Amino acid sequence: ERRDPNQTEFLEAIDNFFKTLTPVLEKHPEYIEANIVGRLTEPERIIQFRVPWVDDQGKVQVNRGFRVQFSAAIGPYKGGLRFHPTVNLSIIKFLGFEQTFKNSLTGLPIGGGKGGSDFDPKGKSDGEVMRFTQSFMTELQKHIGPDLDVPAGDIGVGAREIGFLYGQYRRLKGYQAGILTGKGLSYGGSLARTEATGFGLLYYTKALLEAQGDELKGKKIKISGAGNVATYAIQKATELGATVVTASDSNGFVYDPNGIDYTVVKQIKEVERGRISDYAKRVATATYQEGSVWDFDVDYDIALPCATQNEIDGGRAARLAQNGAKVVACGANMPCTPEAVEVFKKNSVLLGPAKAANAGGVAVSALEMSQNSERLSWTFEEVDNRLKDIMKNIFEESAAAAEEYGLGADYLAGSNIAGFNKVADAMMAQGVI
């Protein structure tokens, strides 16, 4: 706070995180003595750079580029690049901090980092995006490498941008598949990466239910979003015998008591790039309404928010509990406000936090790194089976950490503690660095 009083997002993130760690720090005074908290709230390295590029009118534009290398205590820095006008150092530091513990939870040897730019890809031509991206990578390439820092996509950085970033790196430094993840299948990408976050969310939810002596089969699920995470969450939930009754976008939502057909969602979103309202025009049992899916009353068992941050506030959380939902697992990052989390606690609604429940994406990215190092491509089944094990482990480790500190089914605290412990132990072992 003393150093960066204006970095509100970052300060809020560290405050929320360390609040849940009080019992750990009480039990382990050696962490306090070694100032683990002080060290963990200061990124190992921050790189900020100018990104000049020429637009289609021939005018020179300038954006700001960032890479925050937060912690490499357990492996190379790993985390996405975000291209969005709201990007600033506070947001990138907040995301890099959270990423460090999410990556730790996967059990794979990856540290935490995040980067991006305040460049807005919306309304830009392919040529402009390519020139910007090439300029961005011309600087970034000095700071990344397969054993040093391995960026991936995030908001505004999809298949097209990853392709351009990879191409520019290769042009400057030569072939090196392991410098980025989320690559296309033709140049070193991993099978099942597209499905990983949505599938992983369901593997996690299944493990959480089984730990309560319950099962996923036969459950009624509300899902928000109709993007990458939501689409594959609907597919896996259906395959595991549950019924997903909603899907949404930023305009409205569809409700189908017979279960949303994920093949239709895929066709509309991935092939036609249409709106979720098109779904109701095609499926007779479905109805479309404007507004948020969380303001719509229907009885259901499980909520899987897969759209965006802060979509469930205190009021919506109360409504969710009234509708009979007993479990919320977060596909999106930070979809529930702190007030919503309080409401869940009061109403005994179990919460699967984003750090754990949506870690499937970064886990498969780490598997992409393994395949690149081996110069091999694993089958879809092999990657999917590893993902299943990883998500089950994440749930079990979080639950065990919560149990160890007498926190019952507080899986939010449990996942923070499990993620933190591994990083803290590695830092203790490596001395004051």
Q: Binding marks (x or -) toward ligand NDP, 173..212, rule CB under 6 A?
A: ------------------------x---------------
Q: Binding marks (x or -) toward ligand NDP, 209..248, rule CB under 6 A?
A: ----------------xxxxxx-----------------x
Judged by CB, which is closer to ligand NDP: 31, or 232? 232
What gap in Å lies between CA 7 and CA 93, rounded to an integer?
9
Question: Which residue among 129, 245, 306, 350 contacts ligand NDP (CB under 6 A)?
Answer: 306
Question: Which residue among 98, 249, 368, 384 contacts ligand NDP (CB under 6 A)?
Answer: 249
Q: Binding marks (x or -) toward ligand NDP, 358..397, rule CB under 6 A?
A: x--x------------------------------------
Question: Which residue among 88, 90, 289, 333 contacts ligand NDP (CB under 6 A)?
Answer: 333
350-353: long-range pairs with CB below 8 Å, 24+? 350/208, 350/212, 350/326, 350/409, 350/411, 351/327, 351/411, 351/412, 352/204, 352/205, 352/208, 352/327, 352/328, 352/395, 352/411, 353/411, 353/412, 353/415, 353/416
CB atoms within 10 A of CB 5: 8
Question: Which residue among 331, 352, 353, 419 contacts ligand NDP (CB under 6 A)?
Answer: 331
Q: Site size for ligand NDP, by CB under 6 A?
A: 20
- Residue 301 CB, shortest distance to ligand NDP, in Å, is 21
Q: Buried b / exposed e across 121-145, counting CB within 10 Å, b at 16+?
A: beebeeebbbbbbbbbbbbbbebbb
What gap in Å lies between CA 381 and CA 361, rounded to an integer?
16
Stretch that binds ligand NDP, among 8-16, 35-43, 329-337, 338-346 (CB under 6 A): 329-337
Phi-psi sector, 192: left (phi>0), alpha (psi -120 to 50), beta: left
- Residue 307 CB, shortest distance to ligand NDP, in Å, is 3
Q: Buried b / exposed e across 253-279, counting CB within 10 Å, b at 16+?
A: bbbbeebbbbebbbebbeeeeeebbbb
What gap in Å lies between CA 244 and CA 370, rounded to an integer?
34
Question: Which residue among 16, 90, 243, 308 contacts ligand NDP (CB under 6 A)?
Answer: 308
Strand partners, 147: none
Residues belonging to the binding site for NAD(+) are 197, 228
Catalytic residues: 114
Stretch that binds ligand NDP, among 21-29, 39-47, 281-289, 328-336 (CB under 6 A): 328-336
> Minimal CA–CA distance to 102: which of 350, 398, 386?
398
Does the footprint of ligand NDP cover residue 168 (CB under 6 A)? Answer: no
Strand partners, 329: 352
- Residue 399 CB, shortest distance to ligand NDP, in Å, is 21
- Residue 104 CB, shortest distance to ligand NDP, in Å, is 15
Which residues are near ligand NDP by CB under 6 A? 197, 225-230, 248-251, 306-308, 311, 331-333, 358, 361
